[in-house]
């Protein structure tokens, strides 16, 4: 595990969070109904479930992009103050790099928007590109990089302003299976080296169990939270663990919670 | 997207673009043009085509020596009409797109009007413009402007709208301002669209100015064509068409050159 500060309070506290979308000419859509879970600082939480289970909605609520209709959402604690503008980093399914910017300038985008000192940010961006395995590509344009490499750059961009919370919405969903497995290992390495709290949305059950310290299981129709599993696999994780008995037990348990077994 | 994770050191991804040396590409292009001219020449001689139907390239070129035709002054007038109308079209199109992007109400009210106006065949406005502004450079420039402005406005406005929703989320999660969204994402993102509209507009501006001259004018290459038509000086008509084309090529070349400077290769709209 990481050397996260031991706090009595959790870093994220959600209690009975509910969110409904009102749509014109259609019944309103219940996206999240009873989300209740805590996340400690330095954890890597996976939100797993089928499409329409509200995982992206929860992520947007954590990002401050949506308000919950009811329930408690609290981020930050005495040890780690949380500034909603500065302390969120986001990674999406698509890298969404700006085509006209070189990789280093893409990574710097959040620092520019926040008005951080550009010299220091540039140095930090270089370190991060090194961390994600892209040193030497600072001056490349996005089209010169493969999909996996572009997503690495997107991860560096999410870290450049040193946010306390990183939100990832199916970040490896668009990659091929092999690249995806490699990126899972990379994510674990980056997480351990950066010590960030990460919330990771995926519909891959094995992926969730493999990367996460805890898995929140969400079901669709009706949208509700079905489970909260602590994953007691040792760190650092290796691909060999995927054949462990306990790995299989966790995935089976999640399938059961999703009503698929 | 390739499945290769890391390219070999020192190598970059080339996505199937044939990379001919510039010299080779240019020599082939020039060679093809020269070949067409040679075929033209040979065909006229071989089939004894009369000069007033189709002159040889040599006869065409020789008309440049005729001082009565005032080639330079006429070409200059046409150039002013094309470039003037085009520049006005670009400026208006860009400003309109910016206004639409900042004020949805402006877009909702003005856009339907523009769509209706665009249905008017601009050529049909020529006689009106001449009544309003008298025969001269101005009405012809106005036709060039009217005919090239709309595609520029339309593509630029579309470029301003094409922001991925997640990118918007990214900016909003950082509490970025509307101005930052505009300068860092919308404006640079719309440039490829602008240039694609400008390329279409350049070709239309040339056509607009010439139509204006044919409708009524006292100078310009279109005007000259009408004059020499009455004397059946076909070589001079050929020469005028070639000069109009050259003016268009220069304008188009300037647009392409600016695109190369301002738009990253991969971002260009094909």
pLDDT tens for A125-164 read 999 999 889 999 999 999 999 988 999 999 999 999 999 9
Closest CA to A80 of A43, A131, A121, A117: A43
Answer whether A149 touches B (CB < 8 Å).
Answer: yes
Which residues numbered 210-269 in B keep a CB inside 8 Å of some CB on A? 263-267
Phi-psi region of A15 (alpha: psi -120 to 50; beta: other; left: phi over 0): beta
Interface contact A65-B2, CB threshold 8 A: no
Using CB atoms within 10 A of its CB, is residue B120 exposed (0-12), middle (13-18) or buried (19+)? Answer: exposed
Give B46's contacts (C-beta < 8 A, 6+ positions apart). Answer: none
If you average pLDDT over residues A45-69, what whole number do you get? 89
User: In Å, how far are A51, A72, B114 from A69, measured between CA atoms?
Assistant: 21, 10, 42
CATH of the domain at A46: 3.40.50.300
* A105 contacts in chain B (CB < 8 Å): none
- State the total domains in chain A: 1
CATH number of B55-267: 1.10.3720.10
The confidence band for A89, taking pLDDT boundaries of 50, 70 and 90, is very high
pLDDT at B18: 57
A94 to chain B: closest CA residue:
B166
Interface contact B266-A143, CB threshold 8 A: yes
Q: For chain B, what are the domain ranges? A: 22-51, 55-267
Hey, is B179 helix, strand or coil?
helix
Closest CA to B81 of B198, B211, B196: B211
- Gap from B264 CA to chain A (nearest CA, Å): 5
Closest CA to A6 of A51, A36, A37, A43: A43
Closest CA to B11 of A5, A12, A137: A137
Does residue A154 lie within any of the structural domains? no
Hey, of B6, B11, B12, B174, which one would you mutate to test binding to chain A, going by the most A CBs within 10 A of its CB? B174
Return the ∠ at Cα A179 (arms to A173 and A180), rounded to 5°: 35
Give B265's contacts (C-beta < 8 A, 6+ positions apart). Answer: A141, A143
pLDDT at B118: 85
Hey, of A60, A66, A98, A116, which one would you mutate to test binding to chain B, going by the most B CBs within 10 A of its CB? A98
Hey, is B3 helix, strand or coil?
coil
B191 to chain A: closest CA residue:
A100
Who wins on pLDDT, A96 or B2? A96
What is the residue-averaged pLDDT of chain A? Answer: 89
Interface contact B174-A182, CB threshold 8 A: no
* A92 contacts in chain B (CB < 8 Å): 166, 169-170
Helix extents (H) in chain A: 55-62, 103-107, 109-114, 118-131, 147-159, 177-194, 205-211, 245-257
The confidence band for A30, taking pLDDT boundaries of 50, 70 and 90, is confident
Does residue A181 lie within any of the structural domains? no
Task: Return the C-alpha torsion angle B118, B122, B127, B130, nearest 10.
Answer: 90
The confidence band for A29, taking pLDDT boundaries of 50, 70 and 90, is confident
* B167 contacts in chain A (CB < 8 Å): 96
- The values of phi and psi at residue A18, to 5°, are -130, 140
Beta bridge partners of A17: A35
User: In Å, how far are B96, B255, B268 from B263, measured between CA atoms?
Assistant: 21, 11, 6
Domain of residue A237, residue span: 8-87+197-261
Residues of chain B with pLDDT under 70: 1-20, 266-270
Phi-psi region of A162 (alpha: psi -120 to 50; beta: other; left: phi over 0): left
Write down the pTM of the prediction. Answer: 0.82
Strands A197-202 and A214-219: unpaired
- Gap from B253 CA to chain A (nearest CA, Å): 22
pLDDT at A139: 94
Distance CA A73, CA A162 (A): 22
Does residue A162 lie within any of the structural domains? no
Beta bridge partners of A37: A14
pLDDT at B117: 87
């Amino acid at each position: 595990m990481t050397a996260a500060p031991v706090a009595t309070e959790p870093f994220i506290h959600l209690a009975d969070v509910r969110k409904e979308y009102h749509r014109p000419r259609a019944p309103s859509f219940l996206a999240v109904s009873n989300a209740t879970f805590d996340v400690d600082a330095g954890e890597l939480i996976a939100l797993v479930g089928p499409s329409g289970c509200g995982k992206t909605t929860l992520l947007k609520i954590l990002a401050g992009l949506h308000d919950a209709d009811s329930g408690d959402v609290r981020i930050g604690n005495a040890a780690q103050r949380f500034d909603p503008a500065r302390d969120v980093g986001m990674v999406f399914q698509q890298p969404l790099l700006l085509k006209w910017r070189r990789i280093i300038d893409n990574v710097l985008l959040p620092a520019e928007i926040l008005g951080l000192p550009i010299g220091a940010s540039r140095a930090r961006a270089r370190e991060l590109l090194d961390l994600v395995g892209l040193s030497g590509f600072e001056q490349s344009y996005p089209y010169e990089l493969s999909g996996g490499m572009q997503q690495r750059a997107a991860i560096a961009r999410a870290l450049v302003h040193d946010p306390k919370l990183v939100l990832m919405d199916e970040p490896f969903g668009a990659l091929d299976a092999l690249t995806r497995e490699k990126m899972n290992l990379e994510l674990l390495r980056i997480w351990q080296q950066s010590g960030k709290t990460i919330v990771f949305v995926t519909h891959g059950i094995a992926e969730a169990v493999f990367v996460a310290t805890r898995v929140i299981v969400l079901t669709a129709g009706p949208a509700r939270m079905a489970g909260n599993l602590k994953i007691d696999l040792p760190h650092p994780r290796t691909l060999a663990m995927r054949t462990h008995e306990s790995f299989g037990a966790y995935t089976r348990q999640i399938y059961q919670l999703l009503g698929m077994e | 997207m390739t499945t290769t994770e890391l390219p070999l050191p020192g190598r970059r991804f080339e996505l199937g673009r044939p990379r001919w040396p510039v010299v080779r590409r240019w020599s082939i292009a020039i060679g093809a043009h020269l070949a067409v001219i040679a075929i033209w020449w040979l065909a006229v001689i071989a089939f004894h085509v009369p000069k007033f139907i189709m002159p040889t390239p040599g006869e065409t070129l020789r008309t440049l020596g005729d001082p009565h035709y005032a080639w330079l002054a006429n070409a200059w007038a046409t150039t002013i009409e094309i470039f003037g109308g085009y520049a006005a079209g670009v400026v208006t199109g860009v400003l309109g797109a910016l206004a639409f992007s900042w004020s949805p109400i402006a877009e909702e009210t003005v856009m339907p009007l523009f769509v209706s106006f665009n249905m008017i065949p601009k050529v049909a406005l020529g006689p009106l413009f001449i009544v309003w502004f008298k025969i001269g450079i101005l009405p012809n420039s106005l036709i060039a402007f009217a005919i090239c402005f709309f595609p520029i406005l339309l593509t630029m406005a579309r470029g301003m709208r094409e922001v991925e929703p997640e990118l918007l989320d990214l900016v909003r999660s950082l509490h970025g301002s509307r101005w930052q969204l505009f300068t860092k994402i919308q404006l640079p993102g719309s440039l490829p669209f602008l240039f694609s509209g400008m390329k279409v507009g350049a070709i239309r501006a040339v056509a607009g100015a010439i139509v204006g001259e044919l409708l009524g004018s006292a100078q310009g290459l279109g005007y000259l064509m009408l004059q020499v038509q009455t004397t059946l000086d076909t070589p001079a008509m050929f020469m005028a068409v070639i000069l109009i084309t050259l003016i268009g090529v220069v304008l188009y070349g300037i647009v392409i050159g600016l695109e190369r400077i301002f738009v990253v290769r991969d971002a260009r709209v094909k």
